[in-house]
Amino acid sequence: MNEPDLNQSGVAVTVSGLYKSYYGEPVLKDLNFEVARGEIFVVMGPSGSGKTVLLKHLIGLEAPDSGEILVEGESIRSPGVMDKFRMAMVFQSSALFNSLTVGENVGLYLTEHRLKPSDEIVRIVRDKLALVGLEGQEDRYPDELSGGMKKRVAIARALVIEPQLILYDEPTSELDPLRSVVIAEEIFRLNRRIHVTSIVVSHERELAFGIADRIAIMNEGEILLVGTPREVRESPHPMIREFLAADFKLKEEKTSL
Amino acid sequence: MFQNIGEILVLFWRTVRSLSLTWRQRQKVFDQLYEIGNASLLMACILSAFIGGVIALQTGPVLAERGLNNYIGGLVGVSICKELAPVMMSLLIAGRIGSAMAAEIGSMRVYQEVDALRTMNIDPIHYLVLPRLVAISCALPILVVFSVLVGWIGGAIVSVTNHAINVSFQGFFNNLRDVVDTGDLVNGLFKSFVFAMVIGVVSCHQGLQTIGGPRGIGRSVTKAVVNSIVMILILDYFLTRFLMYFD
């Protein structure tokens, strides 16, 4: 297996004054934060707080009503910027193409853009699949895979782009705890090996505290706090305390019964 | 409605502008061609045989009463060639293939596969719409040729076997050859080509507009089929008027 390109460096991302509304209803309210190169930045918050919408803005799938997203100081809406920096996204549903094999899914970017000869694409696909622990799965179809394997194929597909920024949308949703740990380890390991900037959206606390360099807590389209896992844990903000305590409360109630 | 028409025209224009990429997408075009042929050829043949037969059955006895039964071949020939084959095949394809296109692209949209393409800098128009539009534009005229031939045979069989019409097989085709010329066939093929583009672009547009899960996919499929049929029938009138100038 080829070693990944260790010189591949992540990019810095700056979000300033990001505002978005749908049918007059604000979904993102004046968001401001920065993500450093090579950092794992986790955006956490309850369902419906605008996390996925934020990710879609970061990769250019949605345009904001106002505000700016800068990658290495350049607005992503400026012509050519999205081509200049390599960005990839791992979707919540994995978004694999069911009519294509795992190998074809992973190699799609290279095949469609004709970036490499076909034998080299085969080799790259094999390497990327090995990187996420899916050696020899090239010929299987997505509907033959488990949820966790699909997520890993989606990660391999993102890695083929050799991204400087990877966005993960709820990477451990719909997975059992064991597989969640595997995916979390994968994200952490990749970040440390290839120094890619990773922005992870999740509402799972174990994942966030396990891998994050910094965490942003979102609620109803607003960022309540950006800080290290420790700063978040110690935050006196009532909503954050409530959000973090939710499952401990349940455990306490269960033991008192 | 006007916004929809505008979006459909923009999608069509963007697809036409990317026609130079067809060779790169040839494998997908062949896959779609196979899909269309496989799904529709048998149905097209059955439908055409019965359309030819029913035209002969309805008009033959009326012509025979007036001693004009020798003209049945020409009547069946022209009506199938210029009108029934292109329109009926287009309706069939709108129902079978247009709905499949809208459902497939719609589910890809709902399950974020279209977004995944965009994040990989792959234009969904090049990847999804272009191969489908090219394939349907090639396949429908071919199906119409089949339909015309089978329809003529269906009409001939009914004309020969029905005693109220009383015309020979040779008599049927002699009259057909006298009346129908290549221009009539080209007329039908041109219509089917236009209808194919309408079905392709309307269905792909509906697919790309899909929102809201499985119910949204169902809505898109219904809209794709209904809009295609309405547009085909309206366009048919104007195309017929237009093509009359070349008769």
Residues A156-165 pLDDT 10s: 999 898 889 9
Interatomic CA distance for residues B133 and B167, integer angstroms: 43
Q: Which of A115, A138, A161 is the last residue of a domain?
A: A161
Q: Does A159 touch chain B (CB under 8 A)?
A: no
Q: Considering only residues A157 and A181, tell me which one the structure prediction assigns the higher pLDDT.
A: A157
Q: Which residues of B touch A82 (CB under 8 A)?
A: 121
Task: Tell me which chain A residue has its CA closest to the CA of residue B111.
Answer: A95
CB B173 within 8 A of CB B70: no
A78 lies in a domain?
Answer: yes
Task: Tell me which chain A residue has its CA closest to the CA of residue B105.
Answer: A97
Q: Which residues of A touch B120 (CB under 8 A)?
A: 88, 108-109, 112, 157, 161
- Joined tokens for residue B193: 């080509």
A7 lies in a domain?
Answer: no
Q: Are the Cβ atoms of B115 and A161 closer than 8 angstroms?
A: no
Q: Which of A122, A141, A161 is the last residue of a domain?
A: A161
For residue B118, give the nearest of A61, A112, A113 by CB distance: A61
A189 lies in a domain?
Answer: yes
Q: Tell me, yes or no, whether A169 and A218 share the same domain.
A: yes
Q: How many helices (H) and strands (E) does chain A have?
A: 9, 10
Residue A1 has pLDDT above 50, yes or no: no
Q: Which residues of A touch B24 (CB under 8 A)?
A: 114
Give me the pLDDT at residue B38, please: 85
For residue B247, give every residue at least 6 positions away whose Cβ sits within 8 Å of its Cβ, in sequence order, or none.
B183, B187
Residues A139-159 pLDDT 10s: 999 999 988 889 889 989 998
**Residue A8 pLDDT level (bands cut at 50, 70, 90):** low
Helices B130-161 and B169-179: angle between axes, nearest 10 degrees: 130
Q: Tell me, yes or no, whether A74 and A153 share the same domain.
A: no
Q: Tell me, yes or no, whether A181 and A65 share the same domain.
A: yes
Q: Which residues of B touch A118 (CB under 8 A)?
A: none
Interatomic CA distance for residues A191 and A197, integer angstroms: 7
For residue B111, give the nearest of A82, A95, A109 by CB distance: A95
Instruction: Quote ipTM for the complex.
Output: 0.83
Q: Which residues of A touch B122 (CB under 8 A)?
A: 108-109, 112-113
Task: Tell me which chain B residue has its CA closest to the CA of residue A57.
Answer: B119
Determine which helix (DSSP H) or strand (DSSP E) holds A182, and give its type and residue range: helix A177-194
Query: How many CB pairs below 8 Å do chains A and B form together?
Result: 42
Task: Tell me which chain B residue has its CA closest to the CA of residue A87.
Answer: B119
What's the whole-number average pLDDT of chain A?
86
Q: Are the Cβ atoms of B121 and A56 closer than 8 angstroms?
A: no
Q: Which residues of A touch B119 (CB under 8 A)?
A: 59, 61, 87-89
Residue A187 has pLDDT above 90, yes or no: no
Percent above pLDDT 90 for chain A: 46
Q: Are the Cβ atoms of A95 and B116 closer than 8 angstroms?
A: yes
**Residue A7 pLDDT level (bands cut at 50, 70, 90):** very low
Q: Are the Cβ atoms of B115 and A87 closer than 8 angstroms?
A: no
Q: Tell me, yes or no, whether A53 and A157 share the same domain.
A: no
Residues A198-233 pLDDT 10s: 999 988 888 888 899 999 999 889 999 999 999 998
Give me the pLDDT at residue B227, please: 94
CB B140 within 8 A of CB B241: no
Q: Tell me, yes or no, whether A156 and A171 share the same domain.
A: no
Q: Which of A113, A134, A161 is the last residue of a domain?
A: A161
Determine which helix (DSSP H) or strand (DSSP E) holds A27, and give its type and residue range: strand A25-35
SS (H, E, C) chain B: CHHHHHHHHHHHHHHHHCHHHCCCCHHHHHHHHHHHHHHHHHHHHHHHHHHHHHHHHHHHHHHHHCCCHHHHHHHHHHHHHHHHHHHHHHHHHHHHHHHHHHHHHHHHHHCCHHHHHHHCCCCHHHHHHHHHHHHHHHHHHHHHHHHHHHHHHHHHHHHHHCCCCCCCHHHHHHHHHHHCCHHHHHHHHHHHHHHHHHHHHHHHHHHHCCCCHHHHHHHHHHHHHHHHHHHHHHHHHHHHHHHHCCC
Q: Tell me, yes or no, whether A56 and A67 share the same domain.
A: yes
Interatomic CA distance for residues B209 and B199, integer angstroms: 15
The CATH number assigned to the domain holding A213 equals: 3.40.50.300
Q: Does B118 touch chain A (CB under 8 A)?
A: yes
Determine which helix (DSSP H) or strand (DSSP E) holds A254, and give its type and residue range: helix A238-256
Q: Are the Cβ atoms of A96 and B122 closer than 8 angstroms?
A: no
A168 lies in a domain?
Answer: yes
Give me the pLDDT at residue A64, please: 93
Q: Which residues of A touch B127 (CB under 8 A)?
A: 112
Task: Tell me which chain B residue has its CA closest to the CA of residue A88.
Answer: B119
Q: Tell me, yes or no, whether A134 and A221 share the same domain.
A: no
Q: Which residues of B touch A60 (CB under 8 A)?
A: 118
Q: Which residues of A touch B118 (CB under 8 A)?
A: 60-61
Give me the pLDDT at residue A85, please: 87
Give the gap in angstroms from C-alpha B41 to the nearest C-alpha of chain A: 23
pLDDT (tens, 9 = 90+) of chain B, 247 residues, equals 677 889 999 999 999 999 998 898 899 999 999 988 888 899 999 999 999 999 999 999 999 888 888 899 999 999 999 999 999 999 999 999 999 999 999 999 999 999 999 999 899 999 999 999 999 999 999 999 999 999 999 999 999 998 888 899 999 999 999 999 999 999 999 999 999 999 999 999 999 999 888 899 999 999 999 999 999 999 999 999 999 888 7
Determine which helix (DSSP H) or strand (DSSP E) holds A106, and give its type and residue range: helix A102-113
Residues A96-114 pLDDT 10s: 999 899 999 999 999 998 8
Task: Tell me which chain A residue has its CA closest to the CA of residue B109.
Answer: A95
Q: Which domain holds residue A206?
A: 13-86+164-256
For residue B120, give the nearest of A92, A96, A108 by CB distance: A108
**Type of residue at A61:** L
Nearest to B94 by CA among B39, B18, B25: B39
Q: Does A59 touch chain B (CB under 8 A)?
A: yes
Residue A248 has pLDDT above 80, yes or no: no
Domain extents for chain B?
Answer: 40-244
Count up the domains in chain A and report the number: 2
